[in-house]
Amino acid sequence: MAPYLVELDPEDPYTGRILELAWGNAWGIFMRVGANARLRHHLKGFLRVRDEQGRFMLFRYYDPRVLRQYLPTCRYDELKTVFGPIRQFIVEGEQPSQLLEFSLSGLQLNQRRHTLSVLAEEPGSSASSSAGAIR
């Protein structure tokens, strides 16, 4: 249940395998960050939050079902804090065929929705039957 921070290389074949297993199963979120980002340090501060009565609670920001509901409710100062060195959050939508991108532009949160299509494996093709493409 604890979050793990893993750097994924788009060229590594294991990245595709991780995406196949994770996507649609709420395994986690994906982020694009700038070079030299102190991501672990930044994210560590979001694990525990206080409620209105001052009690500590676990904030499961790393669950795509939580993050995709939370970000649109934030004020700009909250978004700036959450984004920090993160340029973009990428999460699965309510349907596994949906990909949601969240980014900051000026004072506003941008949300883009993409539909993923499954590429069918054709004889003699090197495409995997579970590879996804953005349309």
- pLDDT of 62 strictly over 60: yes
Question: pLDDT grade, residue 1 (50/70/90)?
Answer: low
Spatial separation of the C-alpha atoms in residues 6 and 62, rounded to whole Å: 12
Over residues 18-25, the mean pLDDT reads 89
Domains of the chain, residue spans: 13-134
Question: pLDDT grade, residue 71 (50/70/90)?
Answer: very high
Q: Which amino acid is at 127?
A: A
Q: Please state, for a pLDDT cut of 70, what percent of the chain lies above it.
A: 86
**Model pTM?**
0.80
Stretch among 35-39, 42-46, 68-72, 94-98 having the lowest mean pLDDT:
35-39
pLDDT tens, 82-123? Answer: 999 999 999 999 998 999 999 999 889 999 999 987 643 434
Answer for the pair 48, 96: CB distance below 8 angstroms, yes or no.
Answer: no
DSSP letter assigned to residue 121:
P
106: left (phi over 0), alpha (psi -120 to 50) or beta: left
Spatial separation of the C-alpha atoms in residues 2 and 20, rounded to whole Å: 21
Residues in the chain: 135
Token look-up 């700036």 returns 80
Over residues 69-74, the mean pLDDT reads 96
Spatial separation of the C-alpha atoms in residues 29 and 18, rounded to whole Å: 12
At residue 110, the pLDDT reads 96
